[in-house]
Amino acid sequence: MSELERIKKQILRYLALKPATFWELINYQDAHLVNFLEALKELLKEGTILYQKPYFKIKELKEPVETYHSPGCLFCSPFKDNAYWEKLFEDFKRLTQDRPLPTSDYDQGFIRPEDTMKRTAFIYERGDLEGTEIFILGDDDLISLSMALTGLPKRIVVVEIDNRLNEFILKKKEEIGYPNLEVYNYNVIEALPDELHRSFDLFVTDPVETKKGLKLFVSRCISSLKGPGSTGYLGFTHREASLQKWRDLQKFMLESGFVITDILRDFTTYPEKDNSWEDFYRTYRIMKEFDLDLPNVDWYKSCFLRFEVVEGPYLLEVEVPANLEELYFDEEAWATPLPSYLEKKNQEV
């Protein structure tokens, strides 16, 4: 989706709620003034809206427009004052209560259900959800299902290595009644299927944070995007990613043709109790430095980043890890569980 098309959708969904002044509309999109004016002029020229000073109003819609639903403050008490988002959140919790638990074999862990819905709401706020084709690389958090519950995306494709999650998503897709959700069994070390190249408006991923794994995850996602105006959403931590690694990521994205538009610090939390990953701590490197008890708080948090394609995007050459061990571990992986097959291998040695 181009930036202009996204702005027009943001304008129309707010005007579907009520007439608005020029200054009110500015607050419900975040484009440069020149682009905002271009979008308004195009909508006026098309005859979609009209201007009766001081209000802009919808005149004639060529296709239905979803009325704007405010999720509220996503950092304080989201969804409390809006029945639309509150129902989606309750439906999502019910839908995912029997989700598969994380396995150490794939360095898994999921964020709180409210944080998955917060991510979906933020993507909605930015105009990237409605009518778009979405690529998701790895879906422990089940954001595909929270998006499907809205019914707004045109298409959602999940590529995921864990077949338990794939089967769960397909089962819940039927419960939701959302037909346009596809799932691929996929190992990121392998090349992305040809039919998924340059086919999507946005990607969402929580990459592994090793030097090789991070760029490989992001590169696979970049290859899925259509072109300028496409966007990417990335979960990224300060727990196992140094500032040098953050700098390397930002440089990589800039050279790939993106601009960073948003960094929401510690936007999401990984709940210790819900993940039931107490046994994982036996193999954490950090546990070997001190005689530590298991955590008494939810301490692992993730930032949420948004990138937008300005030119390209360009596919830079990246080194592909030889195996999953090389994918998941580097010198900063201090809270990454040792996969069961590696633990068994070490015991045999």
DSSP string, 232-253: EEEEE-SSS--HHHHHHHHHHH
Q: Which residues contact 227 (CB under 8 A, 6 or more apart)?
A: 198, 309, 312, 313
- The SS3 of residue 104 is helix
State pTM to two decimals. Answer: 0.95
Check residue 344 and give its pLDDT.
59
Check residue 345 and give its pLDDT.
59
CB neighbourhood size of 312 (10 A): 16
Check residue 342 and give its pLDDT.
62
- Domains 3-58 and 83-348 equal at CATH topology level: no
Low-confidence ranges of the chain (pLDDT < 50): 349
Distances (CA, A) of 96 to 55, 80, 164, 286: 43, 20, 13, 31
Strands 181-185 and 133-137: unpaired
Place of tokens 């008890």: 293
Domain map of the chain by residue range? 3-58, 83-348
Distances (CA, A) of 248 to 217, 241, 252, 255, 264: 14, 10, 6, 11, 18
In angstroms, what is the C-alpha Rg of the chain?
21
Phi, psi angle pair for 30, to nearest 5° = -135, 30
The top-level CATH class assigned to 3-58 is mainly alpha
State the Cα–Cα distance between residues 96 and 86, nearest whole angstrom: 16
Distances (CA, A) of 225 to 4, 6, 97, 134, 315: 17, 16, 32, 9, 11
Q: What share of the chain is helix, strand, coil (3-state, %, to 5)?
A: 40, 15, 45
**Homologous superfamily of domain range 83-348:** Vaccinia Virus protein VP39 (3.40.50.150)
- The SS3 of residue 160 is strand
